[in-house]
Amino acid sequence: MANAHVFPGGKLDAADSADEVAPLCAGRSAEACLEALREPRLDPNVARGLFVAAARETAEEAGVLPGGATLSAKDRKRLLDEEWSFADLLRSLDTHLDLSALYPFARWVTPLKEKRRFDARFFLAVMPPDANPAHDERETVESAWWAPAEAVRAASEGEIILPPPTLVTLQWLSRANDVESCVAFADSSEPRPIQPRLTQDEAGVLTLALPGDPLHEDKRQAFDWVTRIQLEGTRWRSGLAGQVSR
């Protein structure tokens, strides 16, 4: 995702599900994490590990601990330099990771045609009032705090690049009136896996068809405002079938 604006994130590490982390977590048990994810086939420890991974990546890439506060420059450097594990960081702060501060609300799976594939869970978290997020200047080179609707507008006008899952997520967030309504929706929703179907027409236009689109085998519509996303140059544009926005 070079040059794209994305949310903090990364991959699940084995350490995220390790027994060492469990005593440092609060707010949700492993079984409660499993229930919140609505993925009954997962091992409960892996389910908790997904929550931990989301918090760890946010700490690494934004310098903020969900449910906590901004990390000091010294502590963050130790984490990024792998001098400390995430468990070491929590112990040094004499704190527990509040898993109840994270709300799973979306899940995107890479199309089958892609060589590199991911199964990505998206979590919502309320920014701590005293947090001061900043990019890590390693994997990320710039950071910005956007109102969702403003980020969608900037992408539509070519000011920034938003990958499809980020674009659709921001469109969803822009429909909410406030933070409380976002949290209420995320807390009550079932993170249904969204696996787009990648197609290319005779003109070479790439289209990601979402569930509910005529080009997708799953006819249950995932979103009521978008069924497909098309690539124009470096810009993804979304809309309903036959009505992709310009």
In a domain, 105, yes or no: yes
pLDDT given for residue 36 in this prediction: 94
In a domain? residue 217:
no
Q: What is residue 70's predicted lDDT score, i.e. its pLDDT?
A: 87
- Residue 213 inside a domain? The answer is no
Report d(CA 167, CA 236) in Å as an integer: 8
The parent domain of residue 18 ranges over: 14-195
**Model pLDDT for residues 38-65, shown as the tens digit of each residue:** 999 999 999 999 999 999 999 999 999 9
Distance (Å, whole) CA 126 – CA 52? 16
- Contacts of residue 179, defined as CB under 8 A and 6 or more positions apart, other chains included, come to 126
CATH number of the domain residue 67 falls in? 3.90.79.10
Of the candidates 143, 104, 107, 145, the one whose C-alpha atom is nearest the C-alpha of residue 125 is: 104
User: Is 211 part of any domain?
Assistant: no
Residue 236, classed as helix, strand or coil, is strand
In a domain, 120, yes or no: yes
Report d(CA 36, CA 122) in Å as an integer: 12
Task: Output the pTM of the full model.
Answer: 0.93
Give me the count of residues in the chain.
246
Q: How many other C-beta atoms lie within 10 A of the C-beta of residue 157?
A: 9
139-160, pLDDT tens digit by residue? 889 998 899 999 999 999 999 9
Helices (H) and strands (E) in the chain, counts: 7, 10
